[in-house]
């Protein structure tokens, strides 16, 4: 019998797990996730809002004239 896998977005840099039902990133370590959800879970590495902010600020510092202040698609 094949078990169904649940795929969730996870930021390994900041230990944040995205809950679609809440539309929110919550703090979870991989140990907590494994203990809570076990083997029915597949984590997809994703950029969280913190990653997006850090990237945007770094790009603005490196290329201030070529990166718009309010970049879309980040």
Domain ranges of the chain: 6-62
Q: Which is higher by pLDDT, 62 or 41? A: 62
Q: What pLDDT does 1 receive? A: 45
Q: Is the pLDDT of residue 69 over 70?
A: no
pLDDT in tens, 7-60: 889 999 999 999 989 999 999 988 888 888 776 678 899 999 999 999 989 988
Q: Which is higher by pLDDT, 9 or 74? A: 9
Q: Is the pLDDT of residue 6 over 70?
A: yes
Q: What pLDDT does 60 receive? A: 85
Sign of the Cα torsion 33, 35, 41, 42 reads: positive
Q: Report DSSP state, residue 46.
A: -
Residue 66 neighbours by CB distance under 10 Å = 8
Helix, strand, coil distribution of the chain in percent, nearest 5: 35, 25, 40
Backbone angles phi and psi of 32, in degrees to 5: -65, -40
């Amino acid at each position: 019998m094949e078990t169904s896998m649940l795929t969730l977005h996870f930021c390994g840099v900041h230990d944040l797990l995205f809950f679609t039902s809440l539309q929110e990133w919550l703090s979870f370590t991989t140990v907590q996730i494994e203990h809570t959800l076990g083997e029915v879970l597949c984590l997809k590495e994703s950029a969280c809002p913190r990653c997006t902010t850090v990237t945007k600020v770094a790009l603005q510092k490196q290329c201030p004239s070529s990166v718009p202040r309010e970049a879309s698609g980040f």
